[in-house]
Chains A and B, each alone.
Chain A
Amino acid sequence: EPITVKFSHVVAENTPKGLMANKFRDLVAADPALKDKVVVEVFPNSQLFDDDKVMDAMLLGDVQIAAPSLSKFQKYNPQLLIYDLPFLFKDIAAVDRFQQSEDGQTLLTSMKDKGYIGLGYLHNGMKQLSANKPLKTPEDAKGLKFRIQTSDVLAAQFEAVGGVPVKKPFSEVFTLMQTKAIDGSENPWSNIYSKKFHEVQSDITESDHGVLDYMVITSSEFWDGLDEDVRTALKKDMDEAVTYGNEMSVKKADEDKQAIIDSKRSTVYTLTAEERQKWVDAMKPVWDKFKDTIGADLIDKALKANEG
């Protein structure tokens, strides 16, 4: 009987992550090396577990693969906070270079003692600021309530510009924005577009101030228990699926950005070099707070990726 690999994620099938998961399933099905050995089942839309509980379900062996956002992993390895630091990477290509570097790859396997192995990084994209007023300089963010994911770095980042970080479930963000219970948020273009945040936020600032990426992970118990040849074949298919997903993600970010501009529901503002520097100056001190946890040399190496 073939091994069933359950891939559980929390987004729709037509998102980059959804497409990547389905691609992986199809690649495995078509792989002669895995014929009759492995079947992949994809469960989208939080059908099985949300991102919090899926980590536990993986330890119990009920889910084999998931792809939570990188912020979720800081409980397991605080070094992964590095991906939340504001203005560390200048664009998604720089993010990619760091992830593919030796240090980036080491981070993938850094949670082995907790029972997890990272199989690859999947892009969602660079984050943009949105609010119900224009955000041109950090002063504009003062006193505004921003929805964030759980992360000490992200909380510190908004506190640094005088904003109020508010933690609310992603599913409620639209309503809360619509009802003005929260004033703003930070999201990649694809999230803004797919969740229609641009319809309830009057202004979006193209800040590219941070990255929101995923890590595709599996449980080490499951992964190490596989036959060598099966594991190699699965990894190869996974790499191919991730590459495909990342292409989709970059393409979709551009498309969605354009669609948002075309919709005219929200004004997209591009920062001048001067304005952008003000944001950098305001937010960068956050790095110092987390330097010891992350490691100063790791931050330096991440900065080098901007040059490549």
Chain B
Amino acid sequence: MLKIIHRLEENIIALLLVGMTLLVFVETILRFGFGMGLMWSEELTLHLSAWMVLFGASYGLRVGAHIGVDFLVKKFSEETQRIIGLIMVAAALVYCILFMYGAWEYLGKIYKVGIELNDMSIKKWQAHSILLVGFLLIGIRLIEIGIRMWRYEQTMISMHDEAKEVLELQKEAVGGLK
């Protein structure tokens, strides 16, 4: 079950990224090849990008994509690291809750005004609702991380190492290094 949800999550993100790339590609080709303009493409692309980032930020937490600085924390004992980690999770949850409150306040205002986006007939509050959804998802992931820390399964929020990441990609391509 969890696997299906994860798979779905990844598919949505991939779809958003590929969609926005193809949209700009097609728009560019249309303009140069056929002298045509798509009035709504800029706004749609920008919103696809915003949705990818806000929807994907929590996915980033799951796969440890958000870079952080760990050289200081790593100097502490494992137990201290865990406590610091739990405090950081709590602080990050505060961030999430404040953001969700702000998003609620903001969406409420534009819901009341009821206007549409500039170039597409979509209600603005609907297009921007990913703010609330995105931070809610981040909050859920943070709670998961907190539980793992509580159970001694993880010590830092950002377990990510961008360097290692690029290398892994590379190793697959080059076929391993000594």
Residue of B32, B37, B109 with most partner-chain A CB within 10 A:
B37
CA distance A166 to B42 in the complex (A): 10
**Residues of A close to B39: CB separation below 8 A:** 155, 165-167
Give chain B's interface residue range (CB within 8 Å of chain A): 10 to 19
Label chain A's interface by main secondary structure: mixed
Q: How many chain A residues touch the partner (CB < 8 A)?
A: 19
Query: Of the 9-residue stretches A52-60, A93-101, A259-267, which lies at the interface with chain B?
Result: A52-60
CA distance A155 to B43 in the complex (A): 16
Q: How far apart are B111's CB and chain A's nearest CB, in angstroms?
A: 11
How many residue-residue contacts, CB under 8 A, span A and B? 43
Q: Are B106 and A169 in contact (CB under 8 A)?
A: no
Q: Any chain B CB within 8 A of the CB of A70?
A: no
Q: Any chain B CB within 8 A of the CB of A143?
A: yes
Q: Are B37 and A166 in contact (CB under 8 A)?
A: yes
Pick from B35, B37, B109, B110: contact of A167, CB below 8 A. B37
Label chain B's interface by main secondary structure: helix
Q: Are B31 and A145 in contact (CB under 8 A)?
A: yes
Pick from A52, A59, A164, A165: contact of B113, CB below 8 A. A59
**Residues of B close to A134: CB separation below 8 A:** none
A59-B113, A60-B109, A115-B113 are known contacts. Are A164 and B35 too (CB-CB below 8 A)? yes
Q: Any chain A CB within 8 A of the CB of B8?
A: no
Q: Any chain B CB within 8 A of the CB of A37?
A: no
Q: Any chain A CB within 8 A of the CB of B105?
A: yes
Q: Are B110 and A56 in contact (CB under 8 A)?
A: yes
Binding site for A on B (CB under 8 A): 31-32, 35-37, 39, 42-43, 105-106, 109-110, 112-113, 115-116, 118-119
* Shortest Cβ-Cβ A-B pairs, 7 listed: A166-B37, A150-B118, A59-B109, A75-B115, A164-B37, A114-B113, A167-B39
